[in-house]
Amino acid sequence: MRTRPLQIGITGGIGSGKSTVCKIFDVLGVRCYNADKRARWLMEKDSNLIDDIKHLFGPESFRNDRINRDYLANITFNNPENLVLLNALVHPKVAVDFENWVNTQRDEVYLIKEAALLFESGSYKSLDFVVNVSASVDLRTKRILKRDPFRSHSEIASIIERQLSEEDRNELAHFIIHNNESESLVKQIIKLHDRFRKE
């Protein structure tokens, strides 16, 4: 008999529709942990993490006690070493935060962890199953331009290039949700929902 909820990872490239998928799971009554939002929260609330970020990247990393996202984006976007250093500070904190959250949800049948870098961070290894939300690069680009009109085509292409490829994510995932606007998203999610409740 299972002593804790099943843990399901939801991942996908930028613009794939992870958040939309998680909203549908939420409507079905499934509790979802958004790792990216919690990472931002921890970067502004965890005093040890704040000190570590300031030590590595300077006091300009924060402005009025808020994370200076533009500054950090600039120093990590084209500098993989800085990005690795930042992730090495943040990812372990998120892992502990997620584990604490899971421990408060022990009556649930299954839980969802939504994270863009689920495979890249290695956090998928502690989960029972991983679902990749899959969509073509063209469709993802179109969605991002509509959602974030301030982004250019070249910036979006650069972000996608730095993420794990669609093929690799699909190969690593246990399940794939095709968010291609030609298959019913709800039907695919309900099918998985029924599967996870029986595990």
What's CA 63's distance to the chain center, in Å?
A: 25
What stretch of H or E contains 123?
none
* Distance of alpha carbon 150 from alpha carbon 144, whole angstroms: 10
Per-residue model confidence (pLDDT) at position 73 = 87
Q: What is the DSSP string of 140-175?
A: HHHHHHHH-TTS-HHHHHHHHHHSPPHHHHHHH-SE
Per-residue model confidence (pLDDT) at position 162 = 84
Written as six digits, the tokens of 151 are 């982004």
Written as six digits, the tokens of 19 are 């958040």
Per-residue model confidence (pLDDT) at position 155 = 87
Per-residue model confidence (pLDDT) at position 1 = 64
Under 8 Å between Cβ of 156 and 138: no
Give me Rg for the CA atoms of the chain.
17
Would the CA dihedral through 152, 157, 158, 162 be positive or negative? positive
* Distance of alpha carbon 26 from alpha carbon 102, whole angstroms: 16
**Which neighbouring-strand residues pair with 6?**
110
* Distance of alpha carbon 53 from alpha carbon 90, whole angstroms: 9
pLDDT tens series, the chain, 199 aa: 678 899 999 999 999 999 999 999 999 999 999 999 999 999 999 999 999 999 999 999 999 889 999 899 889 877 889 999 999 999 999 999 999 999 999 999 999 999 999 998 899 999 999 999 999 999 999 999 999 999 889 889 988 988 899 999 999 999 999 999 889 999 999 999 999 999 8
- For 52-110, the pLDDT digits (tens) are 999 999 999 999 889 999 899 889 877 889 999 999 999 999 999 999 999 999 999 99
Q: How far apart, in Å, are the Cα atoms of 102 and each of 43, 107, 113, 120?
A: 20, 10, 10, 21
Per-residue model confidence (pLDDT) at position 47 = 95
